[in-house]
Amino acid sequence: MRSLPLPLAALVAAAFSPLALADDWPQWLGPQRDGVYRESGVATDFSKSPPKELWRVPVGGGYAGPAVAGGRVFVPDFVLNDAGAFPENQFSNPDLPGRERVLCLDAATGETVWEYAPQVTYRIQYPAGPRVTPTVELEGDGPAGRVYFLGGMGDLVCLDAATGKKAWGYNVTEKYGAQQPIWGFASHPLVDGENLYVIAGPADGPLLCVNKATGELKWKACTAEDECGYAPPVMYERAGKKMLLAWTAESVNAVDPATGKVHWSVPAAVSFNMSIAHPIPATVDGAHYLYCMSHDPTAVVMLKLADDPTAKPEVLWRGDQRTGMNGVMNTPVFDASAGEEGLLFSPDRNGVFVAADPLTGEQVAEDRQFFGSATTWGTIFTTPLGDTGAVLFAVETGELQSGSLSDEGAEVNGSAKVLEPTQIAGNRRVLWVHPAYAMKSAFWRNDKELVRVDLAE
């Protein structure tokens, strides 16, 4: 196995590096929003250094992973008012009144520091709870700062990180006329400079830019025929130019973060409006690419960027059943050291862990070890451990596994059962939540508990 480089470090702007401690995980996919865990001293082989539970505390329902910053854990959940069970049929959407909370916990003990708990009525499918990881921006080491959060029904809020008091907030469906997505708003807010960006707007401007201090709208951009989509925006910087990448339900777009000008747009409509994973940068032989993965094979697309990244890219290939990877919740990983020119890795929509050639989309390896047989929407969150060549696999069964990537797929060298899968998907229980990795630990939640396990080697 060759060493795994930092897949996105040179390509994605470190939006929070001045704001987060080195071992924090202050937003979706970590400090650089690229899904790489760079803290040193973390175990790479669980068979030799198994994870050890440090604490476990009760929480409510939700698909939202936690954020960790300044010695605190920020996790959203949803608690029904009548304390009853959620519907077994995840495709029904009855009115479910409850409290959509943001909890702040002491990372050392799990004790609650504060909670923000407004009343919200859910009217969405898969209604267990919120989808969005809070975005935490601290002043120095904290606890002062801000927490930005988008709820399942479209409540966009800014909270005081020290106290949980609301600084500003509103509902995007009421304020901007955004259409309620059938599976709830799910775009993780991105903070850069004085702005907050989120895909939660109306058909004539699903990408919103607001003043992070006041919530006031600065501009909206892009288009979407009805629902806005589910993907988070990501900042991309190359050749001295900075641009927002936004995959709406209709297209992949590069947008000027200051003005909202759309530099280019490539059609990439997804069935059921399920644009979920943000575009993944990849570099092969000095050329730059963006990979967009969807559950819909025909919506999968690889773009080759021009020397000027603001110029419209070439569509290198589009997906089908045997081209690219058609995953659902999974975030793909590009390993520049695998294969001849690097490989893309992710589970597909049947839970098969696939390696694909980035230049052709050809699937070069299929690995069925995680689920054994075809598992619809089988989910594994793959997290590279810096440049060590090791990765962590957070499997929907509640197992956290250590291993590496190779030309043949995934190589697992150790596994630990961390949580029980409590969420319902079809005829099985799942854990569709991305962990936070910080403080040489994994912070992971299901619909009942949040646990911290020690990953120190």
pLDDT per residue over 344-377, tens digit each?
Answer: 999 988 899 999 999 999 999 999 999 988 888 8
State yes or no: pLDDT of 9 exceeds 60.
no
Give yes or no for a contact between 377 and 328, defined as CB atoms under 8 angstroms apart.
yes
Q: Is residue 386 part of a domain?
A: yes
pLDDT at residue number 6: 37
Q: What is the mean pLDDT of residues 223-229?
A: 90
Distance CA 59, CA 132 (A): 15
Mean pLDDT of the chain: 91
- For 334, how many CA atoms within 13 A lie in the half-sphere containing its CB? 29
Give yes or no for a contact between 379 and 430, defined as CB atoms under 8 angstroms apart.
yes
pLDDT at residue number 22: 53
Q: Is residue 19 part of a domain?
A: no
Q: Is residue 3 part of a domain?
A: no
Q: Is residue 69 part of a domain?
A: yes
Q: Is residue 46 part of a domain?
A: no
Q: For residue 96, name the pLDDT band (cuts at 50, 70, 90).
A: very high
State yes or no: pLDDT of 8 exceeds 50.
no
Distance CA 110, CA 136 (A): 18
pLDDT per residue over 305-339, tens digit each?
Answer: 999 999 999 999 998 867 777 776 677 899 888 87
Residues in the chain: 457
pLDDT at residue number 4: 36
Q: CB-based contacts of 240: which residues, under 8 Å, 6+ apart?
A: none
State yes or no: pLDDT of 51 exceeds 90.
yes
Total domains in the fold of the chain: 1
Q: Is residue 43 part of a domain?
A: no
Of 389, 382, 387, give the one whose Cα is nearest residue 367: 382
Q: Is residue 2 part of a domain?
A: no
Q: Is residue 24 part of a domain?
A: no
pLDDT at residue number 16: 34
Q: What is the mean pLDDT of residues 181-207?
A: 97
Q: What's the CATH code of the domain at 362?
A: 2.130.10.10
pLDDT per residue over 260-275, tens digit each?
Answer: 999 999 999 888 888 8
Q: What is the mean pLDDT of residues 379-385?
A: 96
Range of the domain at 353: 52-454
